[in-house]
Structure 1
Amino acid sequence: MAMFVHVTSAANAPRIRRSGIRAASYGQGGAHGVYCFPVLPSYTLTHQWLRELARFGSRGGLVAVHVRLDDAQHVLVGRYTDRMREAQAAVSAAEAVRRIAALEDPRGWEVFVPRAIRPREVHRIRTAPQVAGWRYLPDAHGVRPCTCLGCRVRSGYGARRLRERLPHPLDGPPPPTRVLLARVAAAGDPGDPVALREALHWFGMRRRGPLAQLGRLAAHPDPAVREELVWAVARWSTPGVTELLDGLADDPHPDVREAVEVMKEARASQ
C-alpha cells in the first residue's frame, strides 16, 4: 500500500473522517480528483506544499490527511508545470512513489488521484506546521517577485503594496480613471488607434468603469479598437455592458465577433 499526504483546510476534517475526500480538484485533461504527495523520509519535502496552499487561505488552518492507496491505483505524476502542458505521466501509485523518491529535487512535484478518496483509505488526520515548504515556486526566496497579470495573486496578502512598489510596465497598477479618460480625449475623434488601445488595456484591469464615455468607441473605424473595447469592458459590473456586447456581436469584423463570443461564454460561466 502506498502512503500519500493531502493538505486541506482544517474545517474539512470532520467531513473527511465521515465521507473521505471529495474529487473536487481539476487535473490534467479536465479530470476530477484529489492532489496529494508521497510520504517521504524528509518531513519538509513531504509537506512542501503547506506554505503555498496557506497563501490562499483556510478556515482554522491546514491539516495533513494521510491516505493509503492500493499500489496498482492509477494516478498522474509530474511537476505542477507539467499539468499545463498535459505532460504528467499516467502510472501506478507505487510507481509514482518510486519516481518521486528517486528524484534529487522533488520540490514542485505532485500526484493526482483521478477519483475521490474513500473513508477507509484515510489513515489519519493531523495538524501540520504552516511554515514548512516553499511559496510561489521552489527557490523563489531571494528572487524579485513578478507583478504581471499572469503571476500575481489577486487579493493576496500585501499584493497591493507589492504592485505599487514594483509596478509592471504592462500590467499595472492601472492609472486613475481620470487620467485614462484624459488620454482617450487627447486621442481625438475618432481617435488614434494606438493611444485608444493602450488606454483600453488599462481600463480592462478595473471591475467597473465609465461606460458612458467609452461607448462611442464601439463605432470606431478600426476593428482592433472595437475588439480591445470588448476585452476591456466585458468583465465590468457596470450597467449597460451586456447591451454593448449585444451590439458588437453583429460587428462586421470576425475578430470582434469572436471576442464577444468568448467573453459572453466567460461571463455565463461565472
Structure 2
Amino acid sequence: MATFVHLAPAVHAARIRRGGVKALGAAHRERRGVFLFPVLDSYALTHQWLRELARRPGPRGLVAVHVRLPDEEEVTVGRYGEREPEVTTAAGAVRRIRELDDPRGWEVFLPRAVARREVRYVREVRQLHGWRYRPDAHGTAPCVCEACRDRGLYGSRRLAERRARPEYGPALPAGTLLARLDRAELRRDTAALCEVLRWYRLRRRGPLPRVARLAGHPDPEVRQLLAAAVAHWSTPGVDALLRELADDGADAAVRRAVAESIAYRDTPGADALLADLARDPDPRVRDAVVDGLVHRATPEAVALLTLLANDPDARVREAVSLLWGEDEDVGEDEDEDVREDEDPEARRD
C-alpha cells in the first residue's frame, strides 16, 4: 500500500473524516480527481505545497490528510504545469518521486475521489513550510500579471506600480473607466466594452447603476463578462442584476456564466438564484450549478443535488457523482483505520 498526503482546508476536516476527499476539477486534465504527494522522509518536502496553497483565496489553515492507496492504483505523476504527465501506478509514483534529486513542484493526481476507508488520519501541520509561486522563486522579483497577482495582498499595489507595462499595473481609476465605458457605448465597440468589464472585475466595486445598463446588450459575451465582473461586489443590487442576467432566455451561455460566477457568492439572493438555475432546461447550466451547491452543503442544496444525481444528462450526473457522491458513505460503519486524534508518530512506533 502506498501512502500519500493531501492538503485540504481545515474547515473541511470533519467532512473528510466522514466521507473522504471529494474529486475536484483540474484545469489541464479532462477528469476530476485529487492531488496527492508521497510521504517522504523529509517533512518539508512532504508538505512542500503548504505555502503555495495557503496564498490562494478560500478558508485559512490547512490540514494534512494521509491517504493509503493500493500499489496497483492508476495515477499520474509529473511536475506541475505538465500537459501530459506520466501514467503509472501508486507504487510507481512513489518510486519515481523518491528517485528525484529535487522533488519540489512534483505532484500525483488520482483521477477519482478518495473514499472514507482510504483516509488513514487527518492531522494539523505547521503552516510555514514549502515554496510560493514556484520552487526557485525565493530571491527573485514576483510576477504581478493578472494571473499571478493576488488582489488585496499586502504590498501588491506597490509591486504593480513598479512595472512599466500598464496592463500589469493597478486597476484604472474609476473616472477613466467610466470615460472608456461611455466612449465604447457611443461607438458600439464590443471589444472595448469587454476590456472595460475586465478592468471592473479587478476592482473591488464599481458604479453598479452605470454598468447595469449592459445587462441588455445584444452581445452575449458582454453579458457574460458583466456577470463575472459584479459577482464579487458587495454593492446592494448585485443579486437583482445577476437574476436579470440569469433570466436571459435567448442564450444559455449567459445563464451558465451566472451560475459559475455565483458559486461562491454567499448571499440569500445568490442561494435562491442558484436553486432556480439548478432546474434550468439546459444541461450545461445545471452542470455549472453543481459546484456551488456542493460548496453550500445546506439542506436545500442537498435536496437539489439529490435531484441532479438522477438528471437525464450524463454530464450532470457525473459532476454530482464526482463532487458530491462520496457523501453517500456517511452513516456506514467507521473504518478502524480512521482515527481523529491519532498521533502519527505513535503509529510509526
Structure 1's consecutive aligned runs of 4 or more residues displaced over 4 angstroms after TM superposition are: 57-60, 155-158, 164-168, 187-193, 196-200, 212-216, 226-232, 238-243, 260-264
User: Partner residue of 1:16?
Assistant: 16
Note closer, same or farther for the CA distance 1:240–1:43 as it changes in structure 2 (3 Å cut). closer
Q: Distance in 2 between matches of 1:66 and 1:202?
A: 46
Aligned-pair distance for 1:191? 4.6
User: Partner residue of 1:25?
Assistant: 24
Indicate the structure with greater helix content.
2
Note closer, same or farther for the CA distance 1:162–1:41 as it changes in structure 2 (3 Å cut). same
Note closer, same or farther for the CA distance 1:213–1:125 as it changes in structure 2 (3 Å cut). closer
Alignment RMSD, CA only? 3.7
Aligned-pair distance for 1:93? 0.1
TM-score, normalised via structure 1 length: 0.71
Q: Distance in 1 between matches of 2:133 and 2:11?
A: 24
Map 1:161-176 to 2 at 5 A.
161-166=158-163, 168-176=165-173
TM-score, normalised via structure 2 length: 0.57
Does the Cα contact within 8 Å between 1:23 and 1:114 map onto a contact in 2?
no
Q: Distance in 1 between matches of 2:8 and 2:87?
A: 24
Q: Distance in 1 between matches of 2:48 and 2:255?
A: 39
Aligned residue among 197, 201, 207 for 2:195: 201
Aligned-pair distance for 1:4? 0.8
User: Partner residue of 2:228?
Assistant: 235
Question: CA offsets per residue over residues 191-211 of structure 1, 9 Å max, x none?
Answer: 596xx9567624422144433
Aligned residue among 102, 112, 115 for 2:112: 115
User: Partner residue of 1:266?
Assistant: 257
Does the Cα contact within 8 Å between 1:152 and 1:159 map onto a contact in 2?
yes
Does the Cα contact within 8 Å between 2:220 and 2:254 map onto a contact in 1?
no
Note closer, same or farther for the CA distance 1:41–1:233 as it changes in structure 2 (3 Å cut). same
The one-letter code sitting in structure 2 at the alignment partner of 1:268 is A
Corresponding pairs, count: 244
Does the Cα contact within 8 Å between 1:175 and 1:202 map onto a contact in 2?
no
Q: Distance in 2 between matches of 1:59 and 1:188?
A: 39
Note closer, same or farther for the CA distance 1:203–1:117 as it changes in structure 2 (3 Å cut). closer
Does the Cα contact within 8 Å between 1:6 and 1:36 map onto a contact in 2?
yes
Aligned-pair distance for 1:54? 1.6
Aligned-pair distance for 1:63? 1.9
Aligned-pair distance for 1:164? 4.3
Moved more, 96-105 or 55-64: 55-64
Q: Distance in 1 between matches of 2:253 and 2:260?
A: 11
Q: Distance in 1 between matches of 2:63 and 2:144?
A: 30
Q: Distance in 1 between matches of 2:116 and 2:50?
A: 23
**Higher radius of gyration, 1 or 2:** 1
Aligned-pair distance for 1:64? 1.6
Aligned-pair distance for 1:129? 1.3
Indicate the structure with greater strand content.
1
Note closer, same or farther for the CA distance 1:144–1:188 as it changes in structure 2 (3 Å cut). closer
SS in 2 for 1:65: strand
Q: Distance in 2 between matches of 1:215 and 1:269?
A: 17
SS in 2 for 1:53: helix
Structure 1 unmatched ranges of 5 or more? 220-225, 250-259
User: Partner residue of 1:253?
Assistant: none
Aligned residue among 87, 94, 97 for 2:94: 97
Does the Cα contact within 8 Å between 1:16 and 1:119 map onto a contact in 2?
yes
Q: Distance in 1 between matches of 2:54 and 2:135?
A: 15
Question: CA offsets per residue over residues 138-179 of structure 1, 9 Å max, x none?
Answer: 111122222222222344454445434547521442322212
Structure 2 unmatched ranges of 5 or more? 231-237, 262-349
